[in-house]
Amino acid sequence: GAGVSQSPSNKVTEKGKDVELRCDPISGHTALYWYRQRLGQGLEFLIYFQGNSAPDKSGLPSDRFSAERTGESVSTLTIQRTQQEDSAVYLCASSSDTGEQYFGPGTRLTVT
């Protein structure tokens, strides 16, 4: 079936604007993850959703970041009042109960 998809692939926004990033996981995957990858760096865990459990938000860097997930489908990561340090690639992944994560292509966010 189809893999994880993310939109938009690229987003350029002005400092102070809000942005929404979308992730469509693999159908049937119960877990969904968001990561941030700054240029030349590793993956920074942001948040994950698992079934109907409360999401683990422990990686969100500030209250400007939030995420929602509708059931076991689409998720939206929202960044309010964007700052230049938010510029990064935002990666989404999903997994079944095996824990093996399948990654989307990412959204490259540039804050000017």
Partner 1 sequence: AQSVTQPDIHITVSEGASLELRCNYSYGATPYLFWYVQSPGQGLQLLLKYFSGDTLVQGIKGFEAEFKRSQSSFNLRKPSVHWSDAAEYFCAVANTGGFKTIFGAGTRLFVKA
> Nearest Cα to 14, choosing from 82, 65, 109, 62?
82
Contact 36, 93 (CB under 8 A): no
Does 104 sit near partner 1 (CB under 8 A)?
Answer: yes
Stretch that binds partner 1, among 20-28, 29-37, 61-69, 76-84 (CB under 8 A): 29-37
Please tell me the distance from the alpha carbon of residue 9 to that of residue 89, in angstroms, as a whole number: 9
Does 108 sit near partner 1 (CB under 8 A)?
Answer: no
> Nearest Cα to 25, choosing from 68, 60, 75, 71?
75
Q: Which of 91, 94, 107, 109 binds partner 1 (CB under 8 A)?
A: 91
Torsion of CA 71, 72, 73, 77, to 10 degrees: 80
Stretch that binds partner 1, among 9-17, 64-72, 78-86, 90-98 (CB under 8 A): 90-98
Query: Among residue numbers 42 through 81, which ones bind partner 1 (CB under 8 A)?
Result: 42-45, 48, 50, 56, 58
Q: Which of 60, 72, 86, 106 binds partner 1 (CB under 8 A)?
A: 106
Please tell me the distance from the alpha carbon of residue 83 to that of residue 14, in angstroms, as a whole number: 8
**Binding residues vs partner 1 (CB under 8 A):** 31, 33, 35, 41-45, 48, 50, 56, 58, 91, 93, 95, 97-106
